[in-house]
Amino acid sequence: MSVLGLRHLYSGKVRELYAVGEDHLLMVASDRMSAYDVVMREPIPNKGRVLTGLTDFWVHEFSDTVPSALVSCDPGVIESWVPGFVAEAQWHGSTMLARRAEMLELECIVRGRLAGQAYEEYVATGTVHHMRVPAGLQLTDPFEAPMFTPSTKAASGHDRNIDLEEAADIVGADMVERAGALCLGLFARASARLAERGLVLADTKFELGFVDGELVVCDEVLTPDSSRIWPADHVRRGDVPPSYDKQPFRDWLDSLHWDRTPPAPTVPEEIVATTSLRYESAYERITGQSLAEWYGEPLIS
């Protein structure tokens, strides 16, 4: 991207961030796969396009009530801000032009069902993010109501799950209440939308920030990297359901008895291909559109 004269700001586990003037950013979602905060050596074809395409879908789905930092994913629109971008076809479909935001120092997680780290904590302590929940729950069980369960934002290493009281110590009680209400509202809307597609939203993570003093949704929204999404007809109490997210990839890693620290294990070609197909299927099942219709050229795994 340096050929376009943009200043590179940051390399994340998945995304590259570039400055576009003083007030905008170019966010490029790579095909890198991160699990347990460790980046695999093998990329997952089309992953970046899926993350970007689904974010665009959900931002437009919510646009009537909740603003976003996203400006556009359209290469033609990006070209007007970044001359020469149209010629860089490898970034089409995986790039978002966004407004700069002052990020909220919390990962804003909403959990509708018991799964993942929340399940592990519940089995050990009977709590979720150190907050007491009813006894007798099993894997995939719904909570009495979706829970706002924030975590810290770690500059490196793992985020840390926290309760609402500790979240208030970080950003203030009023902001926790405001962020929680916004995220729970988005979760309810997304759950209803996915239910129409025969899908269950178990949990998801939102990123929030301020643009011109307004609280907005930032970064990726309801993607397979930030959410657990299950086919409703395959959810069985106490069983791990098949899913349209990266949990099956985590399950494969767990089968290796890997200690979740670098170096990452080698990912076989068949796991790469299966994971790529799962991401593509997530996009098509959720949006009702073919990934081939999204910007950019599909990669063959």
For residue range 11-69, list pLDDT tens digits in order: 999 999 999 999 999 999 999 999 988 999 999 999 999 999 999 999 999 999 999 99
Q: Which residues pair with 203 in a beta bridge?
A: 111, 228
pLDDT at 103 over 70: yes
User: Which ranges in 172-266 belong to alpha helices (H)?
Assistant: 173-195, 247-255
Q: At 81, phi and psi to the nearest 5?
A: -100, -30
Q: What is the mean pLDDT of residues 125-150?
A: 98
Q: What pLDDT sits at residue 4? A: 86
Instruction: Give one DSSP letter per residue of 112-155, joined into a string.
Output: EE--HHHHHHHHHHSEETTEE--TT--TTPEEEEEEE--B---S
What does the pLDDT look like over 265-287, one tens digit per residue? Answer: 999 999 999 999 999 999 999 99
pLDDT given at position 157? 57
Residue 156: helix, strand or coil by DSSP? coil
pLDDT digits (tens, 9 = 90+) for 180-231: 999 999 999 999 999 999 999 999 999 999 999 999 999 999 999 999 999 9
- Locate tokens 């089309």: which residue? 46
**Structure confidence at residue 213 (pLDDT):** 96
Q: Can you tell me the distance from the alpha carbon of 45 to that of 30, in angstroms, rounded to the nearest whole number?
A: 9
- Given a contact cutoff of 8 angstroms between Cβ atoms, the answer to whether 200 and 244 are in contact is no
Report the C-alpha gap between 87 and 91 in whole angstroms. Answer: 9
**Cα separations (Å) of 183 from 98, 186, 221, 260?**
20, 5, 11, 29
Report, as an integer, the average pLDDT of 68-90: 97
Helix (H, G, I), strand (E, B) or coil at 171: helix
Return the residue matching tokens 């985020």: 159
Per-residue pLDDT for 2 more than 80? no
At 224-278, the pLDDT tens digits run 999 999 999 999 999 999 999 888 999 999 999 999 999 999 999 999 999 999 9
Decide: pTM greater than 0.85: yes
For residue 79 the two structure tokens come to: 């070209």
Q: What domains can be seen in the chain, in order of their start residue?
A: 2-100 (3.30.200.20), 103-248 (3.30.470.20)
Are residues 152 and 87 in contact, defined by beta-carbon separation less than 8 angstroms?
Answer: no
